[in-house]
Structure 1
């Protein structure tokens, strides 16, 4: 099977794939929600000064973990995940509850925003779950992205976006999505008392 076929099997499809990227340096694990961009190449956008960027710069690799758990996206976006959230599989640091994972090699370079090309190394499907699309999950992920941008830029339009997305989560999400949205609001309130 070619690399495109393998990435399809792992759930990393053409377009921007929101995943939780795991990295580590000096034995310290890190997780962050990041978009893996798959078009004619596979790339990722990393930002200077983040733990993910520094870890990738030091190790030359990252792991894309596919998960549909909105709480993991919120926690990884707004705080550090506890060690209980990670698991080594075949020597690779992954999310414990990942549905699949893919190890990539990349060579970042020092600039404010980088988009290195990723080279697929190996991966594994842990479990296949068939599910309908839940708008609540998508909205929680969008809200987590807006929250990280608000934290970085302090632009009020991101708060308006979060409020709009919350209404959709309340209408379309299940208990896990509603709890994740509440947790996101708690993180924001703690950041700006």
Structure 2
């Protein structure tokens, strides 16, 4: 049974990694990784946002506290984002991605929170299209509207920042939080792999990180983490850039 609401289904702090599905011109939903940036809770601002998102974040904290007492604290109402807007959740798209184009075309999407590393790797490193907006692996979701805030260029790559506002949300199932270093290594590995084609990042440094993440998954990951890293290998072929690839764990 899905619990419905109009506030974020989980507390957000720092950067929360999610998957967003956006409706494309081919009548399918494109799934991509999306980092949700919460305002800095240490900000000295005492103003509230015009759209009432500070109230929503407090409600989100109350909604999730019972099941996630050891997890995320929701965004504080007095926080201020980098753009000067108060208590908003933001996300940044990099390059001319499907997510960016669909945000402009449709004005929103469906953010979802997953714990399956295989789904995250598929969303972060491949063209991942589905027929329905909510993934089978989602624990919770939020239909959102987006508002373009600003844009610029960094390292030769165009970026755009968006305000993300939930309009309808649902919790499909509640899970007991666990910490697994293998899972965390898979998520970080998708970031390193995605930067291999960006000239402003040092390739050797990124390959060293990927080597370390592979070793971490080998030591600490379970079957899902190893399968996810194998997906990452196939999608990015990062090992082909190594001088001695045979010294790194391989996952089948």
Give the TM-score, by structure 2 length: 0.66
Shift of 1:48: 3.5
Return the match for 1:73 from 112, 117, 120.
120
Shift of 1:20: 0.7
Pair 1:6 & 2:7 matched: yes
Question: Aligned residue for 1:103?
Answer: 143
Structure 1 regions of 5+ residues with no counterpart?
Answer: 88-92
Shift of 1:6: 3.4
Provide the secondary structure at the position in 2 that maps to 1:150.
Answer: coil
Question: Aligned residue for 1:146?
Answer: 192
Return the match for 1:56 from 87, 103, 107.
103
Indicate the larger mover: 124-133 or 106-115.
106-115
Question: Aligned residue for 1:90?
Answer: none
**Alpha-carbon distance change, 160 to 138 in structure 1, aligned in 2, over 3 angstroms:** same
Indicate the larger mover: 151-160 or 24-33.
151-160
**Alpha-carbon distance change, 190 to 136 in structure 1, aligned in 2, over 3 angstroms:** closer
Larger radius of gyration: 2
**Alpha-carbon distance change, 71 to 151 in structure 1, aligned in 2, over 3 angstroms:** farther
Separation in 2 of the partners of 1:150 and 1:167?
Answer: 19
Higher share in helix = 1
**Alpha-carbon distance change, 191 to 62 in structure 1, aligned in 2, over 3 angstroms:** farther
Separation in 2 of the partners of 1:53 and 1:192?
Answer: 30
Q: Deviations over 1:132-169 (max 9, x none)?
A: 11111111000011111113447232121111111111
Q: Please tell me the root mean square deviation across aligned C-alpha atoms, in Å.
A: 2.2
Q: Indicate if the aligned counterparts of 1:48 and 1:110 stay in contact, CA closer than 8 A.
A: no
Indicate the larger mover: 73-82 or 167-176.
73-82
Q: Indicate if the aligned counterparts of 1:21 and 1:62 stay in contact, CA closer than 8 A.
A: yes
Question: Aligned residue for 1:33?
Answer: 33
Q: Indicate if the aligned counterparts of 2:117 and 2:225 stay in contact, CA closer than 8 A.
A: yes
- Number of residue pairs matched by the alignment: 180
